[in-house]
Structure 1
């Protein structure tokens, strides 16, 4: 299929158009938008994991000068319709998890609000609770569906695979809770209009929000507050990172709107602290993965068994589809996947970068490295022997699958040939040095159709759609796509995104933004030229929808990658360093090399951080995260990140849409921990199967000897 777009703009290394605004501090984030006479909110949170509020005394707080409102379940406005239980806050005295919002104080300034919150006396009757995750599956159930697939699936004859196997790997892999910590904390400003008009065209509620797209808020919030979708105005031109945590409206949004509704006409501002974010804004749930691989004498897989056990909140169920890739990544004739969920009295989890694939591929790719070692094969050679011709699970052909090229080109660029097959052979002083690799995959995601409006006004083409730039570069790359689709210079494109009132669009999530939004732009441009020609009149406009081409469901569609890592392990301290890492990707047409590389190395950075440092520790006695700040929850700093590089395969996948692009936001993190863990094994001979790879685990193994 020929590429439909002129490469004058697409493929060009255009620098971020919003860069000067961000570095100068003039790009307004949610909390920074100007507001006239704002009030400030500070929440009241539950100090127990489960219970019921028995009594509230707010008299001392209400007497403090500057306090405007003390809001609890006793006086909060009633919420209307909604199927997300985590959003129905302040509707009853019941407490479902530690840190849950049970009230708020609003004052004329932030200091007074926080001071007054300490003066509210709340008596709580605690109830028995369970917050301890049992990786052995004790008390778990098999969910009916996980990620749209059955909770239990079997393909082929695992018994026959076991009987014929020469090589086996049977191990358990685990990772802890991970919490989102984007540069911009969750924050918003909410203003409920004083106008009591019944005119449905008039805006009732305006929020300046930090989100990954306005569409979820447009869907969730109006039914909750008894207004029409067009009575809600959302403004979010810039979002300082989301990683899935800002994809859906969360309880703090509802809390702030409730306060604004009680203080009609006055804007209410709330910026969450890091500690508050650890309690109510979601997280990647921990999980235990049991992988069993069986292979013949040549290392060709006969069977894959992947069982996942994970906790979920009683209040709201969420499970990562961690076994999804095991069904279709390698050419194994037999496969079984099984999920077990364990309901606990904890805060609900949510999407986090690479949900499912990040955790599942850590287990699968570590097990594959163990199989390569058992077979005496190079890890790349083992993977090449198990490359499928079609999707093993569905039997569908791949839209494009250039994973083999990722292996070869990545290995050459990284210097994989210098790897010693025998662990523990390279040493420099106290440091053992090893090389490791792992594959990466992320599926095509199509959740919602996207529409785009193009209007000619003042000599420029206004391209309008409800997309969002969460730091990924949408402000930069969407004009590139539009300029080529309309065959005009890029300075004739005026992009409008990041607010309601525009054409409905896919959220910035699931690595689907660029090909979803770009496809709608291209189709709108085609319709515009067909209807208005090359010399449109003032005000000429069209609206068109985008989506995958007809027949896309007949293909197995994924982005692919291969990660290569060097690990250095100190034999005295157990410290692990990653001085260099390279990612080689097959991610469709690259719209902008600068923003794409930024996404890829950003994903690798986040993966290194998770592999070496990140771990949220839940205290089972009280049900809260004990290290809920940057002093205890360690994130990689500049000094922890070595030389990162990203390369990609030149490809064009028409089945993802007319841009030919695939997703790149998630593929950069998938496989990174496995590559690092495999490099640690090559350096030391010690196999780490639990993230993070901290010094204590290496030292306690007894395998380090200076």
Structure 2
């Protein structure tokens, strides 16, 4: 095997350190609030103190008297904006009508921006903002979902852009009544907040002609530019958006948040660069995972075969927009059953619109489903894993389609073997060590495998280096690294000769980074662009050097600064070839779209999660001591970065099970724990052993690369596995997250 085949084998499918790692650890990576411009000024948001009502008056005189305060922007003096209507709702992910800051005097929720103070320094802007006096007319508000359940309604596709759940199949209610064994309970999940390390912020730089360069924290620069074009009536060439590095987003960067239009308004008004960065407290005044109340009812025969599945959910939405996660659909897909009824509704609260948060819908929807399966296993006195195997679905019942691939059975097998599940006693409170009760629980995870249209460009220079680019994002997932690997793999080059560029609207268009589709979509485009570049190089070499005239394009190689073919000893310097061809560089750009054959299949990732907990019998304190997550996600390009994604998801699942809880003061209508001291997330001492297994899975349907993505699947099912382990340890079933001492 020649050296080039060896290089290809070492890049894709191999654990590789992050190519951007050095930039991050040395501080060279620049984020949205790190870019400087001459004349830069700073904006600070004034937030509403009421949850519902109207702004009667804003007195900014005290702030404007301070030297260095340049502007106090309100709904009274903001620039004119185009009328927002539903015509462009599909251009902003996720769909729906986003909140428009300073649109009028209406207050929709506590923390809503009611003014922006702009000053020569951040400290001055923040101080001046404290001097702005706002008078309100209060209206009654409601922020407790339990008080709004009676007013729940099916979400509007026009206002929210979400499809209804699959139509019922069979008669689930009749089948449930007749089933000899059944469970039927309500479960609830709280509001959870994204809390990435990097707060949302942007630096907006106008030039002398009014063109804007926007450095923004976003999961999709093209999406953000389209928002600005629509919101401000700009021409396409009037704005560029740049986002090279993102300090975490988890879905909060899919939709532009209110700091962005505020900064653009101020920059256009002052004709100066403006930076607006939200505080940690203000990070609790927009997107979050919606709180939910869910009913899951399962009916089964004595042998465990499911006869009825009912999953219904009510979640929150805002007063001004319908938002609904896909919470219940998984129940109709994951297990084989002829009688299934799924439904979701929303209730309006005086809160900001929720938004996608890592594994939206699946994270909170699989919790009740997988706990209910555990409760059914308890009622049947069978092993929870065996119950899942009895009801293993060979087809997607929602779509009545076969799976493109599904190695879930192998996930169960390998995960259980690694965990030692065969030694688990059925009865709860059977295992203990000293004063701690030990419990073992498991759950299934599932997420869609998706591909979107994406473009990429590959450019070869005379020095043998290749620059590959696409306007995608890297929100900490390892996009820089994986795309570099895929490009190197396609070209037969070492990683050091390949550079991948992203996060700039001047690059080929790519979808937002979300939904676990980036490697599937952008990776396919990168591979195709590099393959085409290699073919163009072969054509060029055959045209301009007689020694290569009869050679196959498959055999062309780049070695250092030369081009050669496998069976020909001659080499030709790239510089000489380009000179003969009259070019400086050679490039290829490709757009890849999903193949029609995907429509005949259901495509998804699957996992089996096993958890061990220890519960202090006297104190009720809980320790998660082991997690084993076995994942089937097609081809794994970089096991190291992918494994980190799954392990990080497991940490988040533990956090969901035991820690995270947006607690509200319903009198004031706002979250009380809007900081990282009171909003609990795991620390190092809370996390013990996490083992990730990637189950071999081949899939030539999902995309040309056979990859499925792992960003979401890691968190799905973990909270349920922990909850089930707590029941196995204690005999106490808790159906409300998070599981805290008072509930246990």
Q: TM-score range by the shorter chain?
A: over 0.9
Once the two structures are TM-superposed, the CA of residue 65 in structure 1 deviates from its matched residue by 1.5
* Structure-1 residue corresponding to 2:698: 652
* Structure-2 residue corresponding to 1:406: 411
Alpha-carbon separation, structure 2, partners of 1:624 and 1:366: 30
1:277 and 2:277 aligned: no
- Contact kept? 1:168, 1:293, Cα under 8 Å: yes
* Structure-2 residue corresponding to 1:97: 109
* Structure-1 residue corresponding to 2:609: 563
Q: Which string of whole-angstrom CA distances, capped at 9 and with x for unpartnered residues, describes residues 419-473 of structure 1?
A: 2211001122321110000000001234x41011112224222211111111100
Cα root mean square deviation, aligned: 1.8
Q: Give the structure-1-normalised TM-score.
A: 0.94
* Structure-2 residue corresponding to 1:268: 274
- Pick aligned residue for 2:64 from 44, 62, 65: 62
* Structure-2 residue corresponding to 1:205: 212
Q: Which string of whole-angstrom CA distances, capped at 9 and with x for unpartnered residues, describes residues 288-341 of structure 1?
A: 110000111100111100010111101222111110101111001110011121
1:679 and 2:681 aligned: no
Return 140-149 or 658-667, whichever deviates more: 140-149
- Pick aligned residue for 1:181 from 192, 195, 210: 195
* Structure-2 residue corresponding to 1:10: 12
* Structure-2 residue corresponding to 1:231: 238
Please, which runs of 5 or more residues in structure 2 have no aligned partner?
86-95, 539-555, 557-562, 564-573, 579-583
Q: Give secondary structure in 2 for the equivalent of 1:304.
A: strand
Once the two structures are TM-superposed, the CA of residue 56 in structure 1 deviates from its matched residue by 1.7
Q: Which string of whole-angstrom CA distances, capped at 9 and with x for unpartnered residues, describes residues 493-546 of structure 1?
A: 221111110000021100111111111112222332333324574422222112
- Pick aligned residue for 1:158 from 158, 172, 192: 172
Q: Which string of whole-angstrom CA distances, capped at 9 and with x for unpartnered residues, describes residues 187-225 of structure 1?
A: 1111222325xxxxxxx1111111112121022111211
* Structure-2 residue corresponding to 1:214: 221
Alpha-carbon separation, structure 2, partners of 1:384 and 1:414: 17
- Contact kept? 2:317, 2:323, Cα under 8 Å: yes
1:28 and 2:42 aligned: no
Q: Give secondary structure in 1 for the equivalent of 2:743.
A: helix
Once the two structures are TM-superposed, the CA of residue 82 in structure 1 deviates from its matched residue by 3.8
* Structure-1 residue corresponding to 2:88: none
- Pick aligned residue for 2:390 from 385, 409, 413: 385
Q: Give secondary structure in 1 for the equivalent of 2:402.
A: coil
Q: Give secondary structure in 1 for the equivalent of 2:396.
A: coil
Alpha-carbon separation, structure 1, partners of 2:168 and 2:328: 12
Note the 1:40-439 alignment, pairs <5 A.
40-83=42-85, 85-134=97-146, 137-145=149-157, 148-151=162-165, 153-195=167-209, 204-264=211-271, 266-280=272-286, 282-439=287-444
Alpha-carbon separation, structure 2, partners of 1:147 and 1:324: 16
1:572 and 2:584 aligned: no
Q: Which string of whole-angstrom CA distances, capped at 9 and with x for unpartnered residues, describes residues 147-180 of structure 1?
A: 7432573111225523541210101111100001
* Structure-2 residue corresponding to 1:474: 479
* Structure-2 residue corresponding to 1:526: 531
Once the two structures are TM-superposed, the CA of residue 489 in structure 1 deviates from its matched residue by 2.5
* Structure-1 residue corresponding to 2:461: 457
Q: Give secondary structure in 1 for the equivalent of 2:16.
A: coil
Greater Rg over alpha carbons, structure: 2
Q: Give secondary structure in 2 for the equivalent of 1:7.
A: helix
Are the structure 2 counterparts of residues 159 and 74 from structure 1 closer, same or farther at C-alpha, using a change threshold of 3 Å? closer
Q: Which runs of 4+ in 1 moved over 4 A?
A: 144-148
- Contact kept? 1:68, 1:106, Cα under 8 Å: yes
Alpha-carbon separation, structure 2, partners of 1:185 and 1:358: 23
Q: Give the structure-2-normalised TM-score.
A: 0.90
Once the two structures are TM-superposed, the CA of residue 134 in structure 1 deviates from its matched residue by 2.5
1:691 and 2:693 aligned: no
- Pick aligned residue for 2:505 from 500, 505, 509: 500
Q: Which string of whole-angstrom CA distances, capped at 9 and with x for unpartnered residues, describes residues 605-651 of structure 1?
A: 11111111100012222221111111211111111111111011112
Alpha-carbon separation, structure 2, partners of 1:193 and 1:117: 27
Note the 1:618-657 alignment, pairs <5 A.
618-657=664-703
Please, which runs of 5 or more residues in structure 1 have no aligned partner?
197-203, 699-706
